[in-house]
Amino acid sequence: AQTVTQSQPEMSVQEAETVTLSCTYDTSESDYYLFWYKQPPSRQMILVIRQEAYKQQNATENRFSVNFQKAAKSFSLKISDSQLGDAAMYFCAYRNPNFGNEKLTFGTGTRLTIIP
């Protein structure tokens, strides 16, 4: 069974600085998808960024980028120029490639605090 581990329960960063959230996973599959979701307090979960395992290039979305190390099964999220609105729980998630059941396996999350 696939597992996702987020070893940092809490992180904090000064506004405008850069922070990196860690995620490792375990799978025997060679092809899969990885995601970072953001869950603000009392608000719904939204997708931050996704990575297809067959792509060597790291995904980027504006201030968000990932460092995908397939051999090490590591998938970290870097947030540049942190803003107050980035404060949230961040969940790393794994999805196998099988068509028809795209259920997600989540880590336990990292609570990110932005210090003004």
Identify which of residues 18 and 108 has a Cβ nearer to another protein in the complex: 108
Find the shortest distance in angstroms from Cβ 15 to another protein.
26
Identify which of residues 14 and 108 has a Cβ nearer to another protein in the complex: 108
Find the shortest distance in angstroms from Cβ 59 to another protein.
12
Cα–Cα separations (whole angstroms), residue 53 to 34, 35, 50: 7, 11, 10
Q: Which of 73, 98, 95 is nearest to 5 (CA)?
A: 73
Cα 100 to Cα 12: distance, rounded to the nearest angstrom? 38
Identify which of residues 17 and 102 has a Cβ nearer to another protein in the complex: 102
Find the shortest distance in angstroms from Cβ 74 to another protein.
18
Give the distance between the most distant pair of CA atoms in the chain: 44
Find the shortest distance in angstroms from Cβ 116 to another protein.
26
**Which residues in this chain contact another protein in the complex, by CB under 8 A?**
4, 6, 35, 37, 43-47, 50, 91, 93, 97, 99-109
Task: Tell me the CB-side half-sphere exposure of residue 58, using CA atoms within 13 A.
Answer: 14
Question: Do residues 2 and 96 lie in contact, with contact meaning Cβ atoms separated by under 8 Å?
Answer: yes
Identify which of residues 50 and 73 has a Cβ nearer to another protein in the complex: 50
